[in-house]
Amino acid sequence: MIELKNVSKTFPTAEGELHALTDVSLTIGDGDVYGIVGMSGAGKSTLVRCVNLLERPTAGQVVIDGADLCAMGQKELIAQRRSISMIFQQFNLLMQRTCLKNICFPMEIAKVKKADAEKRAHELLDIVGLPDKADAYPAQLSGGQKQRVAIARALASDPKILLCDEATSALDPKTTRDILRLIKDINRRLGITVVVITHEMAVVEEICSHVAILDHGRVMETGTVEEVFSNPRTEAGRRLVYPDGVRISELPAANVVRIAFNGGSSYEPLIASLAIDCGVKVNILGADTRNVNGQAFGTMLLGLPEDPAEAAKAVAYIKNQPNVTMEEVRDYHG
Amino acid sequence: MAEWIISFFNITDPKLVKDISEQIPYLLNNLVFAAWETVYSTVLATLFACLIGLPLGVILIVGEKGGIRPLPSPLMKALNVVINLLRSVPFLILMVVVIPLSRTIVGTSIGTVASIVPLTIAAAPFVARLMEGSLREMDRGTIEAAQAMGCTPFQIIWKVLLPECLPALLTSLTTAFITILGYGAMSGAIGGGGLGNMALNRGYTRNMRIVLYVAVVALVILVQIFQSVGTHLATRMDKRLTGSKARKASAGDRGRQARKDRRMGPPGAM
Ligand SMILES: Nc1ncnc2c1ncn2[C@@H]1O[C@H](COP(=O)(O)OP(=O)(O)OP(=O)(O)O)[C@@H](O)[C@H]1O
Ligand SMILES: [Mg+2]
């Protein structure tokens, strides 16, 4: 279990102190796939770097399985880090080593026998689906392949925790999906706790069980993905959970509702039955729904009719649907 | 040899005939040895300069604020000042200043072996800066990945920093070698041996034109050889330039050359 307790991090800069993290408390359970989302500059990278103390918090504690990392000496910390692996947006492979040697690296520094390390490295290459790339150099691989090698390297030390800092942000959508599947698969098969840092909600929807929303260095919301996505309670949460391409400022001032699908029915039948059962025509202002683990999931903004009676009818109808939550959006203005 | 040259080129100018008949035998007797002296003193001085300069370069990178293993900042400042100080002393003056030191270390202050001492002292801070520059190219993310994996600072230096920067370090080494070769030629002025000595003390001072030109040309050739070998090794070694790409590029060059040859036709054809 990873517990961040009142973690703060300030950077001294030319313009004074920069509060990258303020009083962040999070608990990440064993075997979770925990997403940390936020806009650029929210402090996500800083937060994840605090988990293995690449960044030392200015205040607070980082407790992993009951042990406070901040209180550890250099030796203990180094030992602890070997059970926390990390993958990066830029892969950060050793460019002068073959893939096999890259994967051997964590074992090499842990003084595992060379033959054993190479045997394990070959197994890991199999796991990540690159059995024929053992002798290739990273420069000869595509981005997705590089990230696979990085994942294999991350698994080489038999970690309890895998930290992913924007691990798919340099990859195209298809490769992103493949890599996310791989990470999910690893989480399921090996029971490794995964922390996923991303600014893409789609990534969270794809693999995370829990999510924390970070904004300006503060945790705004935490919960299961379903809870937070179906009903974001804070402004920062709504901004992220909102369907892409919808600009809050361009919405009509009134009669806008946001519907979140929390599994179950997809949105087309809902709109259709609204028209058929209530005779109310609604306007889809924006939608971003997708299948997550076989359930319809996502958000949609609907413009309701001007007529208050019709609007009320629609609202009542939607509220009665299973697996759908709704809230009015008119407060967003002003 | 001298007579052969005179008769082959049918040289009649009496001054030139005199030059050739005096200087060519001198060159035949001394050129190879002078070149050898230049090469071995340069190689040894480069070796010693690297033994001092590379660790210094590593310390400059690793010990700086935000480095892998930050060292006390007064120490780093002092190191920087000393390096800058040594680098700002002109080599000719440094050579004179370290004469007593050469005497203690190698027992003499004159000759090729003695010249290795000032060469090393002059080159070490230069090499330190060169190596620092090469190591600075290291990608921070890769260092961080290593730290995240639980590498000790020593492991990072030994297993990440140096191997990853090896091609750049080799390029710097080549630059250092060639600079030291140039310095070594200057050491001829205070009794160091080699091609520099030959060019200065025979060619220039005694007005032996042919010796001067040949010695200079020999230096140029040495520089070319070592630069090509250094560049070649550095590119060959660098796995960031994937082998296939490099091979394709050179195959392309060969193709172009072949086409050009065909256009030109066989040599001698009209
Ligand atoms: N070493 C540092 N020194 C000074 N400021 C820093 C440092 N590292 C991060 N910051 C600042 O802290 C804030 C949070 O940065 P961080 O990298 O954690 O953001 P992020 O959420 O990961 O953003 P992105 O999505 O763009 O990666 C930013 O304002 C950044 O400028
Ligand atoms: Mg970041």
Q: Averaging pLDDT over each range in B180-184, B214-218, B241-245, which range is the top one?
A: B214-218
pLDDT in the model for residue B102: 87
Cα(B118)–Cα(B126) distance, integer angstroms: 13
Does any domain span residue B106? Answer: yes
Instruction: Please say if the pLDDT value at position B266 is more than 60.
Output: no
Ligand 1 atom having least distance to the Cα of A217: 14
Mean pLDDT over residues A173-184, rounded? 89
Instruction: Please say if the pLDDT value at position B206 is more than 60.
Output: yes
pLDDT in the model for residue A251: 61
Mean pLDDT over residues B244-255, rounded? 44
SS3 B145: helix
pLDDT in the model for residue A238: 76
Does any domain span residue B145? Answer: no
Distance A57 CA to ligand 1 centre (A): 14
Which of A96, A99, A133, A169 is the best mutation test for B, with the most CBs of B within 10 A? A96
* Per-residue pLDDT tens over the stretch A222-257: 999 878 876 778 888 877 876 655 555 566 656 778
Q: Is the ipTM here above 0.90? A: no
* Token digits of residue B251: 């195959």
Does any domain span residue B168? Answer: yes
Cα(B178)–Cα(B127) distance, integer angstroms: 12
Long-range interactions of B26-32: CB distance < 8 A, separation 24+: B26/B202, B26/B208, B26/B211, B27/B210, B27/B211, B27/B214, B28/B1, B30/B198, B31/B198, B31/B214, B31/B215, B31/B218
Name which residue leads in pLDDT, A199 or A262: A199
SS3 B59: helix
Instruction: Please say if the pLDDT value at position A220 is more than 80.
Output: yes
**Nearest ligand for residue A9 CA:** 1
Cα(A186)–Cα(B257) distance, integer angstroms: 53
pLDDT in the model for residue A246: 59
pLDDT in the model for residue A305: 84
Cα(B89)–Cα(A138) distance, integer angstroms: 44
Produce one character per residue of A250-272: b if its CB has 16 or more CB atoms within 10 Å, e if not: ebeeebbbbbbbbbeeebeebbe
Instruction: Please say if the pLDDT value at position B139 is more than 50.
Output: yes
- CA-based nearest distance A81→chain B, Å: 5
Mean pLDDT over residues B235-257, rounded? 59
Q: Residue A307: which of A278, A286, A272, A268 has the closest Cα? A: A278
Residues 226-255 of B with CB under 8 A from A: 238-242, 244
Average pLDDT, chain A: 87
Does any domain span residue B49? Answer: yes
Return the HEC string of chain A.
CEEEEEEEEEEEECCEEEEEEEEEEEEECCCCEEEEECCCCCCHHHHHHHHCCCCCCCEEEEEECCEEHHHCCHHHHHHHHCCEEEEECCCCCCCCCCHHHHHHHHHHHCCCCHHHHHHHHHHHHHHCCCHHHCCCCHHHCCHHHHHHHHHHHHHCCCCCEEEEECCCCCCCHHHHHHHHHHHHHHHHHHCCEEEEEECCHHHHHHHCCEEEEEECCEEEEEEEHHHHHHCCCCHHHHHHHCCCCCCHHHCCCCCEEEEEEECCCCHHHHHHHHHHHHCCCCEEEEEEEEEECCEEEEEEEEECCCCHHHHHHHHHHHHCCCCEEEEECHHHCC
* Per-residue pLDDT tens over the stretch A54-89: 999 999 999 999 999 999 999 999 999 999 999 999
Does any domain span residue B156? Answer: yes
pTM of the model: 0.82
Instruction: Please say if the pLDDT value at position A330 is more than 60.
Output: no
Does any domain span residue B77? Answer: yes
- CA-based nearest distance B203→chain A, Å: 47
**How many structural domains is chain B composed of?**
1
Mean pLDDT over residues B160-175, rounded? 96
Instruction: Please say if the pLDDT value at position A13 is more than 60.
Output: yes
* Per-residue pLDDT tens over the stretch A253-310: 567 787 877 666 566 677 888 888 888 888 888 777 766 555 666 678 888 888 888 8
Name which residue leads in pLDDT, A155 or A323: A155
Using CB atoms, pick whichever of A82, A106, A139 lies closest to residue B242: A139
pLDDT in the model for residue A177: 84
pLDDT in the model for residue A284: 83
Q: Closest-CA residue in chain B for A106?
A: B149
Instruction: Please say if the pLDDT value at position B260 is more than 60.
Output: no
Does any domain span residue B270? Answer: no
pLDDT in the model for residue B211: 93
Residue type, A74: Q
B193 pLDDT band (50/70/90 cuts)?
A: confident
Name every residue in A having a CB less than 8 A away from some CB of B.
52, 54, 78-82, 84-86, 88, 90, 92-97, 105-106, 108-110, 137-140, 157, 163
* Per-residue pLDDT tens over the stretch B108-126: 888 888 889 989 999 999 9
- Residue A21 CB burial class (10 angstroms; 0-12, 13-18, ≥19): buried
Ligand 1 close to Cβ of residue A13 (< 6 A)? yes
pLDDT in the model for residue B96: 84
Residues of B in contact with A137 (CB under 8 A): 239-240, 242
A197 pLDDT band (50/70/90 cuts)?
A: very high
B246 pLDDT band (50/70/90 cuts)?
A: very low
A124 pLDDT band (50/70/90 cuts)?
A: very high
Neighbours of A193 (CB within 10 A): 21
- A42 and A21 in contact (C-beta within 8 Å)? no
Residues of B in contact with A142 (CB under 8 A): none
pLDDT in the model for residue A229: 75
Ligand 1 close to Cβ of residue A41 (< 6 A)? yes
- CA-based nearest distance B1→chain A, Å: 52
Cα(A219)–Cα(A213) distance, integer angstroms: 6
**Owner of token pair 């050898």:** B36
Using CB atoms, pick whichever of A79, A96, A139 lies closest to residue B164: A96
Instruction: Please say if the pLDDT value at position B247 is more than 60.
Output: no
Does any domain span residue B136? Answer: yes
Half-sphere exposure of B204 (CA within 13 A, CB side): 13
Please give the C-alpha separations between residue A146 and each of A163, A199, A267, B19, B122, in angstroms, as whole numbers. 17, 21, 38, 67, 44
Q: Closest-CA residue in chain A for B155?
A: A109
Q: Which domain covers residue B243, as residue numbers? A: 2-140+151-261
Average pLDDT, chain B: 86
What angle, rounded to 10 degrees, do the helices at B112-136 and B162-186 form? 140
pLDDT in the model for residue A256: 78
DSSP state letter for B240 = T
* Per-residue pLDDT tens over the stretch B209-227: 999 999 999 999 999 999 9
pLDDT in the model for residue A252: 63
Instruction: Please say if the pLDDT value at position A108 is more than 60.
Output: yes
pLDDT in the model for residue B225: 96
User: Domain of B76: which CATH number?
Assistant: 1.10.3720.10
Instruction: Please say if the pLDDT value at position B190 is more than 80.
Output: no
Q: Closest-CA residue in chain A for B152?
A: A78
Mean pLDDT over residues B136-153, rounded? 94
Distance A43 CA to ligand 1 centre (A): 5
Residues 130-159 of B with CB under 8 A from A: 139, 141-142, 144-145, 147-152, 155, 159
